[in-house]
Chains A and B, each alone.
Chain A
């Protein structure tokens, strides 16, 4: 079975540019999560969806960050405009019936904002 698929694996861009990270969850999973990992703050939950609906976006740092899930097999995390402090590894994870099953993570996107 295919796992959670994230793209791109690496992204380097200049500050001020728009960045879009993509995620395809495991087929049949009804929960999708976006995390950010930095040395200073560790792993932080940014937002999560249930059945394509955002449930908790309290972890989204600023209005520059937005996430969408237009259908059950695709989600995006967008940063506009990007800043150097957004540099991090961004993980997408999915699970089935969140409270009973563990989350399965993608390989992450390493984002570098110059």
Chain B
């Protein structure tokens, strides 16, 4: 079974600064997908970024980028130029590329962006 670990329950960053959220996972599979989801106080689950394991290039989406280290099974999220609207819970998630797969979530990191 796959496991996803987010070791930082809470983090804080000042507006306009950069912050990195950590995520590690454990799997015996070679092909899979990794995701970061954001859950603001409104409770929505919003996809931030995704990474295919077979792609070596790190995914980027505007101010969000990942550092994907497949050998180390690490998938960190970097938020540049943090904004107040980035305040949310951030969940790392794993999905097997197999046909009978499901999304396995980490426990989340609560990010607070301050003035």
B97 interface residue, CB < 8 Å from A? yes
| Residue of A89, A98, A104, A110 ringed by the most chain B CB atoms within 10 A | A98
Range for the number of chain B residues in contact with chain A: 20 to 34
Q: Is the CB–CB distance between B43 and A89 below 8 Å?
A: yes
A-chain residues with CB within 8 Å of residue B43 when the two chains form the complex: 89, 107-108, 110
Q: Is the CB–CB distance between A48 and B47 below 8 Å?
A: no
B16 interface residue, CB < 8 Å from A? no
B28 interface residue, CB < 8 Å from A? no
Q: Is the CB–CB distance between B102 and A102 below 8 Å?
A: no
With A102-B35, A107-B44 known as contacts, the answer to whether A45 contacts B103 (CB < 8 A) is yes
B50 to chain A, nearest CB (A): 6
Q: Is the CB–CB distance between A99 and B102 below 8 Å?
A: no
Tally of A interface residues using CB under 8 Å: 19
| Residue of B35, B96, B100, B103 ringed by the most chain A CB atoms within 10 A | B103
- Since A43-B105, A56-B102, A99-B95 are in contact, a sample of 14 more A-B pairs with Cβ atoms closer than 8 Å, ordered by chain A residue number, is A33-B103, A48-B102, A89-B43, A99-B97, A99-B98, A102-B33, A102-B35, A102-B50, A105-B44, A105-B45, A105-B46, A107-B42, A108-B43, A108-B44
9 cross-chain pairs, A with B, having the tightest CB-CB distances, nearest first: A105-B45, A43-B105, A45-B102, A102-B47, A42-B107, A99-B97, A108-B43, A102-B50, A107-B44
